[in-house]
């Protein structure tokens, strides 16, 4: 289960073209694998997300990439964060994740969500539908994927999907955990309670306690023991050996995003810096330790390092800093 996950959501690195791109990604995964992370995760998108960069920035297909990273690592679990359900037939997804589990010798996790990025759907000719459509599709998909990953057959005659004794042979090497990403209170967290082994929350830190309470209420409603579900929180981080180096990495990241720091007011710069957990190991470690101690029921984090994860040694430093919190 994910308590310290390293997410790779960005594949545009200074001076790195397609020929060297996998090497840059694999380096991060190997550092995570050897420094105490328990999971490596990549996004399931076809275009870069607007909060990270421009649509035409590099984006790799997640399951091909995860299968390749299985051969570069030996300890970490491998997962999408999270699979866009709208992009894949659920029975085929069960086969894909099972193959990843076999390739990695039992290290696959299925991360899944309803899908939300309309631009990708429109550009690739994939039906987007309404908010309600996408969540209905997700629930039907879980009714197909879950039994197929657990050694059973799936027969579903639904509004969106139909399967007839869909089987999955060979089965996974080990039980494949199902992680549902998001923090929607009426639909997402209810499906976590009903179907998932893990929940990955995407919300402000101030909302964590409330989201945990909502999840507990959904578990009670379906007769599920809340302690059976591992809950992680998604965070963005920039760590470096010293405070000044971390700040320099942050400013370089802003420059790559086209932001002119010299024209920012002190307040604007502070706001930008405040969107990322950044600093030296003591500063970063204190932040994550405080979150864990404050929120009973929060089990861990999925952390990306968009500003500087591509710099050799930075992922390793984060793992060495945070892994002791979970020992």
Per-residue confidence at 35, pLDDT binned at 50, 70, 90? Answer: very high
Task: Find out whether the peptide bond into 82 is cis, omega within 30 degrees of 0.
Answer: yes
pLDDT at 327 over 90: no
What's the pLDDT tens digit per position in 273-306? 999 999 999 999 999 999 999 999 999 999 999 9
**Pair of tokens at residue 127:** 């039906």
What's the pLDDT tens digit per position in 189-225? 999 999 999 999 999 999 999 999 999 999 999 999 9
Q: What residues form DSSP beta bridges with 303? A: 6, 235
Region for 129 from its dihedrals, namely left if φ exceeds 0, alpha if ψ lies in -120 to 50, beta otherwise: left
What's the pLDDT tens digit per position in 241-277? 999 999 999 999 999 999 999 899 999 999 999 999 9
- Mean of per-residue pLDDT scores for the chain: 97
Please report, for the chain, the start and end positions of each structural domain, with discontinuous segments joined by +: 4-326
Residue 61, pLDDT score: 98
Q: What residues form DSSP beta bridges with 112? A: 83, 180
CATH topology of domain 4-326: TIM Barrel (3.20.20)
The span from the CA of 83 to the CA of 62, in Å, is: 8
Q: Which of 102, 100, 109, 84 is nearest to 230 (CA)?
A: 109
**Pair of tokens at residue 262:** 């010299």
Classify 234 as helix, strand or coil. Answer: strand
**Mean pLDDT (whole number) for 60-69:** 98
Look-up of token digits 């500063």: 283
The span from the CA of 232 to the CA of 176, in Å, is: 17
The model's pTM: 0.96
What's the pLDDT tens digit per position in 93-115? 999 999 999 999 999 999 999 99
Residue 265, pLDDT score: 92
Structural element, H or E, at residue 119? helix 118-124
Residue 1, pLDDT score: 86
Q: What residues form DSSP beta bridges with 166? A: 154
Residue 131, pLDDT score: 96
Portion of the chain with pLDDT greater than 70, in percent: 100
Task: Find out whether the peptide bond into 115 is cis, omega within 30 degrees of 0.
Answer: no
């Amino acid at each position: 289960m994910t308590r310290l996950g390293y997410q790779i959501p960005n594949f545009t690195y200074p001076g790195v073209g397609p020929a060297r791109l996998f090497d840059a990604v694999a380096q991060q995964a190997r550092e995570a694998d050897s420094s105490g992370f328990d999971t490596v995760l990549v996004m399931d998108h076809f275009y870069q997300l607007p909060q990270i960069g421009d649509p035409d920035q590099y984006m790799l297909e997640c399951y091909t990439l995860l299968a390749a990273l299985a051969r570069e690592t030996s300890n970490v679990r491998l997962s999408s964060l999270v699979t866009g359900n709208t992009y894949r037939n659920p029975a085929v997804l069960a086969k894909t994740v099972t193959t990843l589990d076999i390739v990695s010798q039992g290290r696959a996790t299925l991360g899944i969500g309803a899908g939300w990025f309309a631009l990708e759907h429109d550009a690739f000719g994939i039906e987007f539908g309404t908010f309600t459509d996408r969540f209905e599709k997700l629930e039907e998909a879980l009714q197909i994927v879950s039994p197929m990953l657990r050694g059973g057959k799936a027969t579903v005659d639904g509004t969106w999907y139909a399967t007839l004794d869909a089987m999955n042979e060979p089965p996974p090497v080990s039980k494949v955990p199902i992680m549902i990403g998001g923090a929607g209170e009426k639909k997402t967290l209810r499906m976590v309670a009903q179907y998932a082994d893990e929940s990955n929350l995407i919300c402000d830190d101030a909302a964590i306690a409330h989201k945990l309470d909502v999840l507990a209420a959904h578990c009670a409603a379906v007769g599920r023991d809340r302690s059976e579900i591992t809950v992680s929180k998604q965070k963005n981080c920039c760590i470096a050996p010293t405070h000044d180096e971390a700040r320099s990495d942050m400013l370089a990241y802003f420059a790559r995003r086209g932001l002119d720091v010299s024209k920012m007011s002190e307040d604007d710069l502070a706001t930008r810096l405040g969107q990322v957990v950044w600093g030296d190991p003591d500063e970063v470690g204190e932040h994550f330790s405080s979150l864990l101690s404050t929120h009973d029921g929060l089990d861990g984090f999925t952390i990306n390092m968009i500003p500087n994860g591509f710099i050799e040694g930075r992922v390793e430093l984060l793992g060495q800093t945070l892994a002791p919190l979970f020992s």
